[in-house]
Amino acid sequence: MSGRPTGDDPARTLIDLKEVSKRYEGGDTAGTAGGAGRAVLGDLSLQVRPGEALAVLGPSGSGKSTLLNLMAGLDRPTAGSVTVDGLRVDTMSETAAARYRRSRIGMVFQFFHLLDDLTALDNVLLPARLAGAPRAEAADRAARLLDRLGVARHAAAHPGRLSGGERQRVAVARALMNRPPLLLADEPTGALDSASAADVRALLRELNADGQTIVLVTHDLSLAEACATRTIELVDGRIVHDAPTAVAR
């Protein structure tokens, strides 16, 4: 159930950030820790290969979520370049960035962001519908993803009737719907109880073992240790630690 296209050369670079800086020029802007014009990221360079599971650690205000937003094309660097899957994300128009996210990025958030008026199945189907995929083919894939992630029995249920762990599994299925090369996860266990968090940790580890490239932002060292093949730590917008992680498979 990998999101990585077949035939990828594992030696190539999927994500390439070169001398990236990000500065917000005024007010209280998301990703800053106060101070107009504060540099959130400073001359950061980072490469991620296909099949890696990269955990990004660091204190609040260190630039973790900003880094994820730059990879997703939700924000633009003040300087430097952001290339993902061969595309210069930092130079895209808003329309091109939306297409890029729809086809090449799966996103999982702390608070799920499922649509309450849609069933679990329809939430998972949404990215395929936006991409114009044939309905029968999309419905089959959505059903298989829900089954693969252990929530097929909840296909007709609305998110409000699901546990936190079940909602996160539906959110992961939605993120994988269009077979993205890259899965971005922002504090994916932050809103879960310990049992549900353990389930999501196991799920992310299994997805990566199946070839899915993952970048996850977390404060949770146990999540990084359980899921990541590599960990970086940010402090004041700079990488201060970058090392492989021994992940038990």
Boundaries of every domain in the chain: 50-74+93-244
Closest residue by Cα to residue 183 from 197, 200, 196, 164: 200
What pLDDT was estimated at residue 37? 64
Cβ pair 201, 228 in contact under 8 A: no
**pLDDT, position 195:** 85
Does the pTM surpass 0.95? The reply is no
pLDDT at position 11: 54
Burial class (CB in 10 A: 0-12, 13-18, 19+), 221: exposed
Considering the four listed CATH numbers 1.10.3720.10, 3.30.910.20, 3.30.1280.10, 3.40.50.300, the one that applies to the domain covering 50-74+93-244 is: 3.40.50.300
CB contact burial 44-82 (16+ within 10 A = b; e otherwise): bebebbbbbbbbbbbeebbbbbbbbbbbbbbbebbebeb
What pLDDT does residue 128 have? Answer: 93
pLDDT along the chain (249 residues), means of 10: 42 91 69 57 95 94 93 95 96 94 91 94 94 92 92 96 92 93 92 85 90 93 90 94 76
Strands 39-48 and 15-23: antiparallel
The predicted pLDDT at position 25 comes to 78
Burial of 157 (0-12, 13-18, 19+ CB in 10 A): middle
Q: Which residues pair with 57 in a beta bridge?
A: 233
